[in-house]
A and B are shown apart, each in its own frame.
Chain A
Amino acid sequence: MVKEIERYGIPIVHMATITTISESVGANRIVPCVMIPSPVGNPNLAPEDEHKVRRELCERAVHALTVAVDKPTQFE
């Protein structure tokens, strides 16, 4: 789905845990996430700490949309 949306010229970032799959199917901007059943969250942390992690992931994701890339790139 990521690739098809990008074909319209809209920058898109894939937030996912198994990033090797993202790369192999050709997503160009990738943000590695926490865990499969909770990509933008970490239920093992206290709420305040979890919020920090979630915030950081989303900031990284929107930042990735502002970076020029020429191939699948992970933003860690």
Chain B
Amino acid sequence: MTKRVLMYLNQFFGGIGGEDMASIEPSFKEEVIGPGVGIAAAIKDNAEIVGTIIMGDNYFGENEEEAKQFILDTINEVKPDVFCTGPAFNAGRYGFSCAGACQVAHEAGIPCVSGMYCENPGLEYCQSIAWVAETANAAAKMRKAIPAIANLVNKVCTGEEILPEVDGYFPKGVRKCIHVDRIGADRAIDMLLARLNDQPFTTELPMAEFDEVEPAPPIKDLSKATIAIVSSSGVVPAGNPDRLQSASAQQWNKYDVTGMDDLPAGDYYTVHGGYDPMYVNEMPTRAVPLDIMRELEHEGIIGHVYDTYYITTGTGTAVANAKKFGEEIGKELSELGCIDGVILTST
């Protein structure tokens, strides 16, 4: 029997528009759209795509409850056998939206499939409840993502066994009991001997690495404190003098705001390519709130706004780079010796 697949795309892949349409309300179309076309062709022996939900990237992030209700209502109406989202590649808002959508379907008992890059912020949750194919970090590699996703949809439909090493998806963290030839004690001793002899071995159970940072102690006297502003919103002086990238930042920059109470529109703008720049270009302080912080300074609520702000672009920026920028900015702020606290704004 042909299974029914419900697709879930954002406004861009759904063919509605770009950033300017990111806040659009969700819609459902009984059509095969965008990546769905390639997926439908690859699954036609087992399934058909019966329709597509199109959800604005910003709409989901800003109206999560309404968005999830829309998804649930559509699932109840369409009654799919499989729920297929993305691929989201490295798009953070889209990945987060796919993860949230999969949560709704998963709780309704529908198996879910998706596709993401390993650093997508939506992955950590999504991979535990959906079969998430590993994709490249950009839509330029759509042609490889489609068969990877279609393969998972096919196997979910036929009930064939799905394995990470065969089917290229992120492990779900589910443990299955299997029989092997040698008892655990033998295998463990072999592993221990290999480790003691500096020989390679493969763990049977990778341990999760927790990287928690101890919360820094609070500021005791705010009225004497110097607060620095850091932002990933990409707001730079007109002309982008240091050529900050619009995506996949390779650098962070800092700009002197001594004696300034504002970042006037026109003199400052955003180069960040991951959100609609209209509102921040109208008023750059909607992202880097120097004006409000100066008010707090003039009124004695805080001691001082540090006279330099730090900026980078958050979209598509590799986690390793973001970590490096944080380390470098943190080191600089720490070595100044006078910074008591930081506000970091993100878009």
Total cross-chain contacts (CB, 8 A): 192
- Partner of A8 from the list B22, B125, B331 (CB cut-off 8 Å) is B331
User: Are B61 and A40 interface neighbours, CB within 8 A?
Assistant: no
Instruction: Give the most central of B23, B215, B279, B326: most A CB within 10 Å.
Output: B215
Q: Beyond A67-B218, A70-B215, is A2–B344 a contact (Cβ under 8 Å)? A: yes
User: Are B218 and A66 interface neighbours, CB within 8 A?
Assistant: yes
User: Are A18 and B61 interface neighbours, CB within 8 A?
Assistant: yes
B323 adjacent to chain A (CB < 8 Å): yes
> Measured between alpha carbons, how far is A14 from B121 in the docked complex, in Å?
16
User: Are A1 and B295 interface neighbours, CB within 8 A?
Assistant: no
Which of B68-76, B180-188, B200-208, B285-293 contacts the other chain?
A: B285-293
- Chain B residues, Cβ within 8 Å of A5: 230, 326, 329-330, 333, 342, 344
- Chain B residues, Cβ within 8 Å of A21: 92, 96, 121
- Partner of A61 from the list B121, B283, B330, B343 (CB cut-off 8 Å) is B343
- Partner of B58 from the list A10, A36, A55 (CB cut-off 8 Å) is A36
How near does chain B come to A38, taking the closest CB pair, in angstroms? 4
Q: Report, as a range, how many residues of chain A touch the other chain.
A: 35 or more
> Measured between alpha carbons, how far is A7 from B333 in the docked complex, in Å?
12
- Chain B residues, Cβ within 8 Å of A24: 121, 124-125
How near does chain A come to B326, taking the closest CB pair, in angstroms? 3
Closest to B325 in A: A1
User: Are B279 and A11 interface neighbours, CB within 8 A?
Assistant: no
Q: Beyond A3-B326, A5-B330, is A66–B296 a contact (Cβ under 8 Å)? A: no
How near does chain A come to B268, taking the closest CB pair, in angstroms? 14
- Chain A residues, Cβ within 8 Å of B62: 17, 35-36
B196 adjacent to chain A (CB < 8 Å): no
> Measured between alpha carbons, how far is A58 from B286 in the docked complex, in Å?
11
B42 adjacent to chain A (CB < 8 Å): no
Which of B146-154, B161-169, B270-278 contacts the other chain?
A: B270-278
Q: Beyond A41-B283, A43-B286, is A11–B218 a contact (Cβ under 8 Å)? A: yes
- Chain B residues, Cβ within 8 Å of A71: 215
Closest to A58 in B: B292
B209 adjacent to chain A (CB < 8 Å): no
> Measured between alpha carbons, how far is A54 from B291 in the docked complex, in Å?
10
User: Are A10 and B341 interface neighbours, CB within 8 A?
Assistant: yes
User: Are A39 and B286 interface neighbours, CB within 8 A?
Assistant: yes
User: Are A11 and B330 interface neighbours, CB within 8 A?
Assistant: no
Which of B10-18, B31-39, B135-143, B219-227 contacts the other chain?
A: B219-227
B66 adjacent to chain A (CB < 8 Å): no
B213 adjacent to chain A (CB < 8 Å): yes
User: Are A3 and B277 interface neighbours, CB within 8 A?
Assistant: no
User: Are B326 and A4 interface neighbours, CB within 8 A?
Assistant: yes
Closest to B270 in A: A37
User: Are A65 and B334 interface neighbours, CB within 8 A?
Assistant: no
Closest to B326 in A: A4
- Chain B residues, Cβ within 8 Å of A40: 285-287, 289, 292, 345
Binary contact track B37-71/A, C-beta < 8 Å → 1, others 0: 00000000000000000000110011000000000
- Residues of chain A having any CB pair with chain B under 8 Å: 1-18, 20-22, 24-26, 28-29, 33, 35-41, 43, 54-55, 57-59, 61-63, 65-71
Of the A-B pairs whose beta carbons lie under 8 Å apart in the complex, a sample of 20, sorted by A's number, is A1-B322, A3-B213, A4-B329, A5-B333, A6-B330, A8-B334, A11-B341, A13-B341, A14-B346, A18-B93, A36-B58, A37-B275, A37-B278, A39-B347, A40-B286, A41-B279, A55-B292, A57-B289, A58-B293, A62-B302
